[in-house]
A and B are shown apart, each in its own frame.
Chain A
C-alpha cells in the first residue's frame, strides 16, 4: 500500500499534468508571439528586408513624437466608448421591451440576433452603401423627403466616425441584448412588486432594483464590450479605411497601416504593445469582475 501511494501522483501533480497541453498551446500561440512582438518593438524590422537591428526605445520615441498619435488615441477612445455605450443603452431598452413577454417577443428576439451573425466585413459594405454620398440609401431617403440628399456621410470628418459607430451599434446590439435579457430574467419580480406597492415608479424600480441586481453582468459586458471595440478592425477599415483626414483611424488601423502599408514592423509592434497595455487595463477589470461574481 505504502509503495503504491509513493508511486501515485498527488492532486497538485495531476493538476499540473492536466494543464500542460493547454499551457503548451497557450505558450506557442499566445505568449510567445506576444513576447516576440514586444521584442520586435525594440528593433527596426521591416517586412521588406531580412536584416534588422535593435534600436532601443527609438520606435517608442517616434510614436509619441508623431503629431497624429494623440488624435489616433482620441479617435480610438471615441469609437470604443461610443461603440460600447450606444449599443449597450439601446440593447438594454430592447431587452426590457422583450422581457415583457408580449406576443411575438420570442420571434423578435430571434430576428434581432441575425445582425450579430453577419460577418463584420459584410456589415461594413452594407453600411458603406447606406451612407454612400452618391448613391446611398440614406441620401435617397433624404432626397425623397425633400432634402438635398448629397451629403458625403463617410467623406467628412464630422460624420464619418459617427457612421462607423452606428454600424457597430447595429452589429453589436443583439449581443448586449442577449446578455441583458438573461440578466433581467434573474431580477426578482417580488422585489419590484413590493417596491411598486411602496409607491416606486418605473425609473426608481429600474435604478434601485434592476440595475443593482444586474450590477455584475453589466460590468462584465461593458468590460468585454470595451475590450472588443479596442480590438475592432473590420468596420472602420471597410467603411472608411481610416479616413477622411484620419477621422476613423483607430489603433487597430494604425497598426495595420504601419505594418502592411508602410512595411515598418518595428513601429507597428510598438503601437501594438501600447495597444496591448490599454487592453490589459480593461481585461483586469473584466477578470476581477469574473472572480468577484464567482
Chain B
C-alpha cells in the first residue's frame, strides 16, 4: 500500500513538475519573439559582420530574437514575393528603389504611419526621403540608406596616368581612359556593366547624359531617339577601343576595382565596404576609391546620377509588426546609423545622424551627397515590371555591343519590346 502511495505521489510530482516547466516554457515563448529580417546586403561578404552587429544590438536591447534570411540582390523581389505568398514568416525586409514599387503594388506591405505614427516619421526623416517610400499617401517604405548611384574612380591609377583630378566632360573622360590604357594595358579603364540587369540600368544615366531616356513626359518610348542611339554608339566605340569589356556586371566591377584592376565604374556608396573588406583602412579609402560626378557632354551640363536608396518595409501578414518596428528604429538610431556609415559607407538618413560632424566632414561621402542633389529617380522605379524593362535593355545593348545589330536596330527593337511589355 505504501509503495503504491509513494508511486502515486511520485507520478503526481512528475506531472506537476512537467506542468510547471511547460508553463514556464510557454510563458518564455510568449515573451521572446523571433522576427524574420530579409534582404541581400547581409549576404555580401563585406557587410556580413556589420549586419551581425546590428542584430546583436537588437537582441541586447529588446531581449527578442531576429533571424536573417538572405538572397542575392537579383533574386530579392522574387524571393520576397514567394516567401510572402507561401505563408512563410517574413516580418521586415530591405527594399531598394528598384524593387520597392513591385512589392508595394502587390499589396503585401504595411503602412509605417500606422505602425510607428506619422509624427515619428516626420520628426525623424527629411520629407524628400519620405517621398521615395510613399505611394498614394501610404508610407510603405521607411528610409534607411539614401544616396545616388554615380561613378567612382581610383585616384592612384588616375594619378599614375597623369590625371590629378577626375575628368569632367566626355572628351576628357575618353582621353583619360586612353591614358590609363597606355599606362597599363592590364587595367580596365571603365568597368561598365555589360551583363545582367545592371547593364540596362546603367545605360539610362548615359542616355540622360546625351539628352535621351526611356520615356518622355507623355509616356512615349524614346529610347531609340537620336540621343539614345548616340549613347549606344559611344558604348560600342568604347568596347572597340578596349576601354570597356564584356562579361562584367556590378559584382565583378566591385571586386576588380577593389583589387586595383579597374579605374572607373558605376556604384553607390556601398563601394566603400568592398574596399574595406580588401584590407584598406576606412580613413584611407578615398586614396583608392573616390566618388566623382558623371562626365557631361559639354561643360556646364548637369551631371547625371540615379537616385538610389534602401528602405525598410514591414509586411502586412506579419504578426510582429511592433517588434519589426523596434528593429527599424534601432537600425536608424544614431549609434547604428553612424556605425554603418563608418564601416559600410552608407550615409544616414535621419535628421540627427546626418547632422553629425563625422558625416558632414567625411571626404568620401561628399561627392555622393553632391550627386544626390541632382539625382533622378530611375525611370522604371515606379513600374511593377521594372526588371523586365531592364532585361530588354540589357539584351538589346548586348546585341549592339556584339555587332549583331546596329545601335539604331537594337534600340528600335528595344522600343518595340518595351511598348509591348506595357
Which of the segments A115-123, A175-183, A240-248 contacts the partner chain?
A240-248
Q: Is the CB of B399 within 8 A of A245?
A: yes
In the complex, A257 has a CB within 8 A of chain B: yes
Residues of chain A in range 53-91 having any CB-CB distance to chain B below 8 Å: 67
Q: Is the CB of A134 within 8 A of B261?
A: yes
Which listed residue (A244, A257, A261, A263) contacts B247, Cβ 8 A?
A244
Residues of chain A in range 211-243 having any CB-CB distance to chain B below 8 Å: 241, 243
Q: What is the minimal beta-carbon distance from B116 to any residue of chain A, in angstroms?
A: 26
Q: Is the CB of A133 within 8 A of B246?
A: yes
Residues of chain B in range 365-418 having any CB-CB distance to chain A below 8 Å: 384-385, 387-388, 391, 394-395, 398-399, 401-402, 404, 413
Q: What is the minimal beta-carbon distance from A5 to any residue of chain B, in angstroms?
A: 52
Contacts of A263 in B (CB 8 A): 81, 102, 384-385
In the complex, A171 has a CB within 8 A of chain B: no
Q: Is the CB of B106 within 8 A of A133?
A: no
Q: What is the minimal beta-carbon distance from A233 to any residue of chain B, in angstroms?
A: 14
Task: Name the residue among B102, B106, B247 with the largest chain A CB count within 10 angstroms.
Answer: B247
Contacts of B387 in A (CB 8 A): 261-262
Give Cα A245 to B188, complex, Å.
Answer: 22
Contacts of A47 in B (CB 8 A): 78, 81, 85, 106
In the complex, A48 has a CB within 8 A of chain B: yes
Give Cα A153 to B195, complex, Å.
Answer: 13
Q: Is the CB of B388 within 8 A of A155?
A: no
Q: By the criterion of a CB under 8 Å from any partner CB, how many residues of chain A are at the interface? A: 25
* Interface size class of chain B, counting residues whose CB lies under 8 Å from the partner chain: 20 to 34
In the complex, A156 has a CB within 8 A of chain B: yes
Residues of chain B in range 187-240 having any CB-CB distance to chain A below 8 Å: 188, 194-196
In the complex, A206 has a CB within 8 A of chain B: no
- Nearest chain A residue, comparing its CB with the CB of B388: A262
Which listed residue (B78, B106, B245) contacts A261, Cβ 8 A?
B78
Give Cα A156 to B391, complex, Å.
Answer: 17
Q: What is the minimal beta-carbon distance from B414 to any residue of chain A, in angstroms?
A: 12
Contacts of B391 in A (CB 8 A): 257, 261-262
Residues of chain B in range 80-137 having any CB-CB distance to chain A below 8 Å: 81-82, 85, 102, 105-107
Given known A-B contacts A152-B246, A155-B246, A262-B387, A244 and B106 have beta carbons under 8 A apart:
no
In the complex, A271 has a CB within 8 A of chain B: no
Is chain A's binding surface mostly helix, strand, loop or mixed?
loop
Q: Is the CB of B196 within 8 A of A241?
A: yes
Contacts of B82 in A (CB 8 A): 260
Contacts of A67 in B (CB 8 A): 413
Q: Is the CB of B188 within 8 A of A134?
A: yes
Q: Is the CB of B404 within 8 A of A245?
A: yes
In the complex, B252 has a CB within 8 A of chain A: yes
Q: Is the CB of B247 within 8 A of A245?
A: no
Contacts of B256 in A (CB 8 A): 134-135
Q: What is the minimal beta-carbon distance from B45 to any residue of chain A, in angstroms?
A: 15
In the complex, A49 has a CB within 8 A of chain B: yes
Q: Is the CB of B102 within 8 A of A243?
A: no
Give Cα A48 to B196, complex, Å.
Answer: 22
- Nearest chain B residue, comparing its CB with the CB of A258: B388
Give Cα A49 to B103, complex, Å.
Answer: 11
Contacts of A155 in B (CB 8 A): 194-195, 245-248
Contacts of A262 in B (CB 8 A): 385, 387-388, 391, 421
Contacts of A135 in B (CB 8 A): 256
Task: Name the residue among B188, B245, B246, B399 with the largest chain A CB count within 10 angstroms.
Answer: B246
Q: Is the CB of B245 within 8 A of A152?
A: yes
Give Cα A155 to B245, complex, Å.
Answer: 9
Q: What is the minimal beta-carbon distance from B286 to any residue of chain A, in angstroms?
A: 25
In the complex, A202 has a CB within 8 A of chain B: no
Contacts of A156 in B (CB 8 A): 246, 402
Q: Is the CB of B247 within 8 A of A48?
A: no
Give Cα A133 to B247, complex, Å.
Answer: 7
Contacts of B394 in A (CB 8 A): 243
Mask for A146-160, Cβ within 8 A of B = 1, else 0? 000010111111000
Mask for B57-86, Cβ within 8 A of A = 1, else 0? 000000000000000000000100110010
Sampled A-B contacts (9; CB under 8 Å): A48-B105, A48-B384, A67-B413, A134-B248, A155-B246, A155-B247, A243-B398, A245-B404, A261-B391
Knowing that A49-B107, A134-B245, A243-B196 touch, tell me 5 more A-B residue pairs with CB under 8 angstroms: A48-B81, A134-B256, A244-B398, A245-B399, A261-B388
